[in-house]
């Protein structure tokens, strides 16, 4: 497609192409990943494990990447709780609702004195 053809394209069709590209990426970035994958496989097949014990990575062969070092993943907190803590909290609340007991309000906090402590099912 030429620039002239893009100029003549209606805005709605151009928007559809943008949306399609987000769902099914195409172009140079995709080709870069495909080629880097092929090169990494080839290099790992011929790699001398005594000289280079670590396998080659896809990023080692990308031409158009920023080569940004990966930061350790930090789990985001919502109202001070991690996703796992929220999952546990909802599970305890559901269990409490089934057993008709008051739910635990916060993980790590003491349960009210008149409330029985729930034990896990056996």
Whether residue 79 sits in one domain with residue 43: no
Whether residue 87 sits in one domain with residue 40: no
Whether residue 91 sits in one domain with residue 57: no
Contact 65, 32 (CB under 8 A): yes
Complete DSSP assignment for 41-109? HHHHHS--TTT--SPP-GGGG-SS---PPPPPP----BTTB-HHHHHHHHHHHHHHHHTT-PPPSSTTS
What's the average model confidence in pLDDT over 80-96? Answer: 84
Q: What does the block give as tokens for 55?
A: 């396998």
Tell me, what's the pLDDT at 45? 95
Whether residue 53 sits in one domain with residue 12: yes
Q: In this structure, is residue 2 part of a structural domain?
A: no
Q: In this structure, is residue 66 part of a structural domain?
A: no
Q: In this structure, is residue 91 part of a structural domain?
A: yes
Whether residue 85 sits in one domain with residue 49: no
Whether residue 17 sits in one domain with residue 45: yes
Q: Which of 31-35, 53-57, 102-106 has the lowest mean pLDDT?
A: 102-106
Q: In this structure, is residue 46 part of a structural domain?
A: yes
* pTM of the complete model: 0.42
pLDDT digit string, tens, across residues 68-84:
555 567 777 778 888 88
What's the average model confidence in pLDDT over 94-102? Answer: 73
pLDDT exceeds 80 at position 115: no
The boundaries of the domain holding residue 27 are 8-61
Whether residue 12 sits in one domain with residue 49: yes
Whether residue 116 sits in one domain with residue 89: yes
Q: How many domains does the chain have?
A: 2
- Rounded Cα distance between 25 and 13, Å, is 17
């Amino acid at each position: 497609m030429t620039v002239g053809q893009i100029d003549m394209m209606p805005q709605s069709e151009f928007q559809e192409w943008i949306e399609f590209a987000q769902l099914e990426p195409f172009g140079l970035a995709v080709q870069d990943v495909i080629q880097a994958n092929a090169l990494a496989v080839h290099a790992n097949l011929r790699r001398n494990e005594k000289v280079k014990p670590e396998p080659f990575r896809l990023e080692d062969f990308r031409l158009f990447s920023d080569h940004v070092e990966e930061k350790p993943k930090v789990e985001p907190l919502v109202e001070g709780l991690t996703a796992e803590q929220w999952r546990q909290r909802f599970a305890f609340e559901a269990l409490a609702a089934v057993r008709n007991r008051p739910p635990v309000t916060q993980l790590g906090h003491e349960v009210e004195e008149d409330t029985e402590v729930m034990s896990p099912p056996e």
